[in-house]
């Protein structure tokens, strides 16, 4: 046996919706980032060997020992999650007790929130300066792709209208999939167009 634990947590869809609703209510900045080659950043705890890949076989019949994580390994997602979690905790984030893929940090009266779904990140903060700071910290650790203001995550289309104080979530693309039986468990909507609407509460 070349692995022990393979389960890996991902952000719950209800957590994502709740955080987006709170962000809209308090006018927080919402951005996204993607970790390039995420799995390849984690080291393996187990001793694993593989055949020499086509094009790199020296004809000796020898096998290769893996030192780093690799896509396709059963424990690949868990290795990456453990690595990323450790780095975030070192940056001062606290892991939510309700959702292991939600990380929160309060620094100098500023709030930073990270939503982690494997290598897709939702980044929430109260100012653009804090967003830039969070991105810089992550880029120092891993090779990242900056997605800018978040318009799509986990199959959700996000439409934010700051002037009206509204944020809409749509799963239209999932509704149109040819194989609806493969929709995620959370593939439901609040109306026939697959749009979930949040409106900022106005206090008189």
State the 10-residue block means of pLDDT for the chain, 204 residues long: 69 92 92 94 86 87 88 87 96 96 94 95 96 97 95 84 82 65 44 51 51
pLDDT of residue 129: 96
pLDDT of residue 46: 82
Nearest in space to 172 (alpha carbons), one of 153, 147, 155, 160: 155
Residue 3 lies in a domain: no
Q: What are phi and psi of 167, to 5 degrees?
A: -140, 125
149-165 CB burial, b ≥16 within 10 A, e <16: ebeebbbbbbebeeeee
pLDDT of residue 185: 42
Residue 204 lies in a domain: no
What is the spatial distance between Cα 192 and Cα 141, in angstroms, rounded to a whole number?
42
91 and 106 in contact (C-beta within 8 Å)? no
Residue 4 lies in a domain: no
pLDDT of residue 192: 47
Residue 7 lies in a domain: no
pLDDT of residue 202: 52
196 and 183 in contact (C-beta within 8 Å)? no
Residue 89 lies in a domain: yes
Residue 106 lies in a domain: yes
The number of domains in the chain is 1
3-state helix/strand/coil string of the chain: CCCCCCCCCCCCHHHHHHHHHHHHHCCCEEEEEEECCHHHHCEEEEEEEEECCCCCCCCCCCEEEEEECCCCCCCHHHHHHHHHHHHHHHCCCEECCCCCCEEEEEECCEEEEEEEECCEEEEEECCHHHHHHHHHHHHHHCCEEEEEECCEECCEEEEEECCCCEEEEECHHHHCCCCHHHCCCCCCCCCCCCEEEEECCCCC
pLDDT of residue 200: 53
Q: What are phi and psi of 166, to 5 degrees?
A: -120, 150
Residue 6 lies in a domain: no
Q: Residue 158 belongs to what domain range?
A: 13-199
pLDDT of residue 134: 97
pLDDT of residue 135: 97
Question: pTM of the predicted model, to two decimals?
Answer: 0.79
pLDDT of residue 189: 39
Residue 130 lies in a domain: yes
């Amino acid at each position: 046996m070349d692995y022990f634990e393979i389960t890996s947590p991902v952000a719950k869809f209800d957590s994502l919706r709740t955080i987006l609703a709170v962000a809209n209510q308090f006018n927080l900045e919402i951005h996204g980032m993607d970790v390039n080659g995420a799995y390849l950043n984690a080291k393996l705890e187990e001793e694993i060997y593989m055949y020499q890949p086509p094009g790199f076989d020296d004809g000796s019949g020898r096998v290769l020992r893996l030192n780093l994580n690799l896509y396709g390994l059963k424990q690949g997602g868990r290795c990456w999650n453990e690595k990323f979690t450790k780095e975030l905790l070192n940056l001062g984030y606290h892991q939510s007790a309700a959702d292991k893929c939600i990380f929160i940090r309060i620094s100098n009266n500023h709030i930073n929130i990270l939503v982690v779904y494997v290598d897709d990140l939702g980044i929430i903060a109260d100012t653009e300066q804090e967003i830039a700071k969070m991105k810089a910290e992550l880029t120092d650790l891993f090779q990242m792709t900056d997605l800018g203001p978040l318009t799509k995550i986990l199959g959700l289309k996000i439409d934010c209208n700051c002037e009206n104080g509204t944020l809409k979530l749509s799963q239209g693309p999932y509704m149109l999939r040819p194989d609806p039986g493969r929709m995620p468990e959370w593939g439901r909507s609040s109306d026939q167009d697959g749009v979930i609407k949040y409106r900022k509460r106005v206090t008189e």
